[in-house]
Amino acid sequence: METWRGRPYPLGATYDGSGTNFALFSEVAERVELCLFDPDESGTLQETRVTLPEVDGFVWHGFIPGIEPGQRYGYRVHGPYDPASGQRCNPNKLVLDPYAKAIEGAFEWGQPLFSYNFDDPGTRNDEDSAASMPKAVVINPYFDWGVDHPPSHEYADTIIYEAHVKGLTETHPDIPEQLRGTYAGVAHPAIIEHLKALRVNAIELMPVHHFVDDSTLVDKGLSNYWGYNTIGFLAPDPRYSSAGTPGGHVQEFKAMVRELHANGIEVILDVVYNHTAEGNHLGPTLSMRGIDNAAYYRLVDDDKQYYMDYTGTGNSLNVGHPHSLQLIMDSLRYWVTEMHVDGFRFDLAATLAREFYDVDRLSAFFELVQQDPIVSQVKLIAEPWDVGPGGYQVGNFPPQWTEWNGKFRDTVRDYWRGEPATLDEFAYRLTGSADLYEQTGRRPFASINFVTAHDGFTLRDLVSYNEKHNQANGEDNRDGESNNKSWNCGAEGPSDDPAVNALRAQQQRNFLATLLLSQGVPMLSHGDELGRTQRGNNNVYCQDNDISWIDWATVDSDLLEFTRSVAALRTAHPVFRRRRFFDGRPVREAGSVGLPDIAWFAPDGSDMTAEDWETGYAKSVAVYLNGQGIADPDVRGQRVVDDSFLLCFNAHYEPIEFVLPPAQFGARWVPTISTSANSTRDAAAAGAAVKVDARAVLVLQSESD
């Protein structure tokens, strides 16, 4: 086969219209074979091996004329196999290109995928793995984007919807059956209309990078439904595609992004760069392990046969190595420039900050992101923890980053289930968590607020179960978080008691109202607005079935309508999505000193005192948001003015009468949102008392504004 020397960059397989350039990094390789796979007359893939002719800067490369999109390929890397010194090359194991832009086929678990013998792990296994491996696919990079452009919503104006491609679309009756569970299904008008009615303008997709179903799950008849087991950082997983041609799922993903953008919806990807599917020292040889193990993975310094594991999955990517960092950055740039995504949520991001051992927010990874002209311009969201020492880093990421605010989740859950001494921290979370973010020069939108996410109970289950019920996972209910900060409202699981069900419905509304009316960026977990249940399972990572999918046939229409109304209120009023923290100081208006931008009142109408905040049993507070006190100008430099609002929160188990503030705060107040059917709907004058039902929120708007 005719082979030219080609180019060392870009890495991966790059088609240019006349042929394909192949480039693979390995500092330890002695020879690299490109393996091309083509079907014979029976459809069986036949392998052709081509030695890459050139190496520059440890990048092995070659150009083959005539190789077109759809070509399947892999690599065999000849080099040292010495696990004790951290090297695990084995040319008998076909390895996937870390830069593959498409991957086709499934792993067939068994001895051939492993470089050691099951019956004697200290010995090498040389069975050929090609027949058991999926193959990388050369793609056609050309796509008609038309007039596509990023919606570029400001953080403060964003409502994020976390969703699973399949879980969101698999049962929707208006989506054609062949499109359910796919990228095309996400872009279907039925889903887009649902998102827009919720005022959602950013969808955060759970991992779509090509991932692996763990052998332990396959043996149980389960799968890695969530996808947090990546093996291809540039390849969208074809399991979420309706396309039947090799590489067709790449085009389908792009079409999804284009359609969402046309409707003003950004696409954020949940990405897993902290580890890969190759696991620990007993894991399979699938890709990077057989290419350059020590470059790609963190190894134990004094015993390099073992892997540092800050993720709980067996390995951690070596972000201290320049080529490992290059892979991450090249992947991020590719998804922005070629796939047009609008941002990333980084799974276990604290692992990426571990320059050596401790978490360091000024690590090389963050410096590269800060300086990158492409990646630095998109939304960057950290899951600010991992399972290693010192891994909980909420509030400690660099100023450019936003964070999943785990303290918002925990505090809001505790407040509404009636835990003592939560009122003062609840106030911090409601107003953007200045205690976490202001000291580093960040704004309220650094806080990605959430009450539930994919990991844990759904909102309905949060108010229906005290304990997890994960028996379907096959781990004797040992997996998943045991401390859920949940409350079942008086009965475990489904109930026929009308009082229990009414309270559960009200608690769901309380959580949604708190989430959507807090400063920061709200994130809804898919299906929470519909009353989705996982039947008490708080760890559905392996449940690709009706336990985890949205059941569109059993939608709670009242809850959906309530969610839409609160989201609409947030979207209409900038006082709920400020770009600066409150300072509590009087606002100067036309030369005179006006009211403060925020004020807190006890139920009797008096100003909250330090003693009020410190009272452990206190469960009720009212907060005044001054629409005249929004300090941020709009994009044209004009002063932003809004209506003023009074939010009355009552987590007490009995109704509370709230005395409205004096007339200077507002002469007349009109209820706009109530989470309880029993709370007042009538307008009231300043100084009047309004009843707020037990465990309820009442939102009032000043009629004088």
Residues tagged active-site: 347, 383
Given a contact cutoff of 8 angstroms between Cβ atoms, the answer to whether 563 and 569 are in contact is no
Strand partners, 525: 162
Name residue 208's amino acid: V
Q: Which of these, 256, 255, 250, 254, lies nearest to 236 by C-alpha position?
A: 250
**With b meaning 16 or more CB within 10 Å and e meaning fewer, what string describes 161-190?**
bbbbbbbbbbbbeebeeebbbbbbbbbbee
Look up tokens 């890459």; give the residue. 52
What DSSP element (H or E) covers 230? strand 230-236
Given a contact cutoff of 8 angstroms between Cβ atoms, the answer to whether 153 and 201 are in contact is yes
**With b meaning 16 or more CB within 10 Å and e meaning fewer, what string describes 403-431?**
bbbbbbbbbbbbbbbebeebbbbbbebbb
What DSSP element (H or E) covers 564? helix 557-572
Strand partners, 104: 135
Query: For residue 683, what are its two tokens?
Result: 């307008």
Strand partners, 136: 73, 103
Sign of CA dihedral 102, 546, 347, 196: positive
Q: Which of these, 298, 285, 351, 286, lies nearest to 324 by C-alpha position?
A: 298
State how far the Cα of 575 lies from the Cα of 64, in Å rounded to an integer: 60
In sequence order, the 6+-apart residues with CB closer than 8 A to the CB of 317 are: 273, 274, 275, 276, 296, 297, 298, 324, 328, 351, 352
Number of H helices, E strands in the chain: 16, 33
Look up tokens 């409202």; give the residue. 489
State how far the Cα of 272 lies from the Cα of 154, in Å rounded to an integer: 25
Q: Which of these, 298, 375, 287, 297, lies nearest to 331 by C-alpha position?
A: 375
Instruction: Report helix, strand and coil shares of the chain as percent, to nearest 5.
Output: 25, 25, 50
State how far the Cα of 133 lies from the Cα of 83, in Å rounded to an integer: 22
